Amino acid sequence: MDQACELILPHGGFRKLRSFAVALAAYDGTVLFCDRFVQKRSRTHDQMVQAARSGVQNIAEGSLASGTSKKTELKLTGVARASLGELIRDYEDYLRQNRLEIWDKDSARVRAMRARLAGKLKRGAGLSDQSDHSDRSDRSDRSDRSDRSDRSDRSDRSDRSEFFDEPLLSALHVLQTASAEMSANIMLCLTHQASYLLKHQMDRLASDFAEKGGFTERLYRYRKEHR
């Protein structure tokens, strides 16, 4: 049978999507942030974690459904992006309500952070160079900083490297000790990046659907060829 007429297309490859990896880092980062800075029994804590989780789960569910329904995949990808939009508002609210600064998206530090998370800057720039002075002094006590950093990275990777590359691991590492202001701004940058990736993913899905159709069209062609 012609491959173009296959009914069930390849699907479920969400773990290979950059959008999934970044959204998953935003989920794990939100758990870290909320456990450190938001009362665990508060509704805000639960809502922020659930919004981050929804972003991840809807990407996965949409990918799994794509074999028979590109429409469902597109819809769930949109739900994932909407959930991350809600999470962005929560971080902005946290910073505003606690009289902390929302870093300008065009500032040098935010541009560096975006580039670091996208893998465009080398290790040591964009995230770790903005960490607290206490963390810097701890690192300076070691004669070989690069060896120390490598050991730290390996310990962090023991249960995360399956999902995250080095920039995302670095962000999650910084979130363990950074101030509330810095942590919230890192999470804003991370969540905005996940939303940006999902927007482009939705554009591609819409274009593919317009050009190739969906399951109904494949089913019609399949039946026509096998009459």
Residue 141, CA distances (Å) to 135, 148, 149, 155, 177 in order: 10, 10, 12, 19, 18
Phi, psi of 178 (to 5 degrees): -70, 160
* Every domain of the chain and the residues it spans: 3-225
Q: In the predicted model, is pLDDT for residue 140 greater than 70?
A: no
Over range 72-84, report the average pLDDT: 94
Q: What is the DSSP string of 40-82?
A: TTSHHHHHHHHHHHHHHHHHHHHHHHTTT-HHHHHHHHHHHHH
| Predicted model pTM | 0.76
Tokens of 78: 């949109």
Summarised one tens digit per residue, pLDDT across range 29-47 is 999 999 999 999 999 999 9
Report the candidate in 203, 165, 208 with the shortest Cα–Cα distance to residue 77: 203
Q: How confident is the model at residue 125 (pLDDT cuts 50, 70, 90)?
A: low
Which of the 8 DSSP states describes residue 195?
A: H
pLDDT at 18: 94
Summarised one tens digit per residue, pLDDT across range 157-178 is 445 667 899 999 999 999 999 9
